[in-house]
Amino acid sequence: MASVSSSRPSIGPAGRTRDGRRQFRAALLVATALLAAAAAGCTGDPADRPDAADRPGTPAAGPGGAAGSGVTGPLCSALPTGSDPGNPAALADQPGDVALQWIPVLTRFEAAVRAAGLSADLRAPGGVTVLAPTDDAFARKFSEEDLDDLMIHRRDELRDLVRAHLVAGVHPLADLVTAGTLRTLDGSTLPVGTAGSMARIGEQVRSVCADYRVAGGRIHIVDGVLGKLPTTYDPNADSGH
């Protein structure tokens, strides 16, 4: 029997010729490159976008918060997200005093609001912005005994303390930074500036998870306690020194 000519292209798996596979790979590489270029044009490197993560108050993903959640800051990723109770979307239609109850790092501030009888202030008709210190911030500021005394016996001072963290009106963090100052309901005027991708309020306090939307307001979680009360926490007290 005569031998078959070997000039015919050999057939590979799935019936595709080797030449066809080469053409397919080349087309696939071109398509992948075009898709990557399109994605880069849409998203880009944050360093190339002046309005991205370096602007305080810009929603972020990863360490800065869940994408699309509206909150931003290094603490956001440790707080409720997605469908968890207390996630930012679930709090958007809650009054400020109710929303505070669902944010797990704000138990002391929320207790101070209730003990001071100022829950209604967080439902003011014109809106209110809350600069809410974390539990760790309270622990660094007050001894347990002093904080208990404030909550139970020194209500006037406690009210001033809470009002030092309230700002009339609804203010996204970026707007506070743009304004450069804010005036709290206790009558204090504080400078506001940038601190990396976060905001600095006063001299040392910084935002750590900002722009929770609530009914008639905003909540910005901060890492320090504002106001005029002295620091009473003694770091040596627990060590017995």
In 13-143, alpha helices (H): 18-42, 88-91, 96-101, 107-115, 135-141
What residue ranges do the domains of the chain occupy? 62-222
Q: Which residues of 86-101 are buried (b: 16+ CB within 10 A; e: fewer)?
A: bbbeebeebbbbbbbb
Cα separation, 80 vs 209, whole angstroms: 12
DSSP category for residue 230: P
Quote the pLDDT of residue 56: 53
Element (H, E) at 163: helix 155-163
Residue with tokens 């931003």: 72
Q: Which helix (H) or strand (E) holds 173?
A: helix 173-179
What percent helix, strand, coil does the chain show, rounded to 5? Answer: 40, 20, 45
Contact 82, 110 (CB under 8 A): no
| Beta strand pairing call for 217-222 and 205-214 | antiparallel
Q: How many alpha carbons lie under 13 Å from residue 162 in its C-beta half-sphere?
A: 26
1.10.760.10, 3.40.50.410, 3.40.1160.10, 2.30.180.10: CATH of 62-222: 2.30.180.10
Return the DSSP state at 2. Answer: P
Give the length of the chain.
241
Rounded CA-CA distance 237/235 in Å is 6
- CA 186, distance to chain mean position in Å, is 25
The one-digit pLDDT tens for each residue of the chain (241 residues) are 444 444 433 334 344 444 544 554 444 444 444 444 444 443 343 333 333 334 455 443 333 444 447 899 999 999 999 999 999 999 999 999 999 999 999 999 999 999 999 999 999 999 999 999 999 999 999 999 999 999 999 999 999 999 999 999 999 999 999 999 999 999 999 999 998 889 999 999 999 999 999 999 999 999 999 999 999 998 887 544 4
Please state, as a whole number, how many other Cβ atoms lie within 10 Å of the Cβ of residue 206.
19
pLDDT reported for residue 216: 95
* Long-range contacts of the stretch 202-205 (C-beta < 8 A, 24+): 202/226, 205/131, 205/133
How much is the pLDDT for 236?
80
Contact 197, 106 (CB under 8 A): no
Distance CA 118, CA 30 (A): 63
C-alpha–C-alpha distance, residues 48 and 52, integer Å: 9
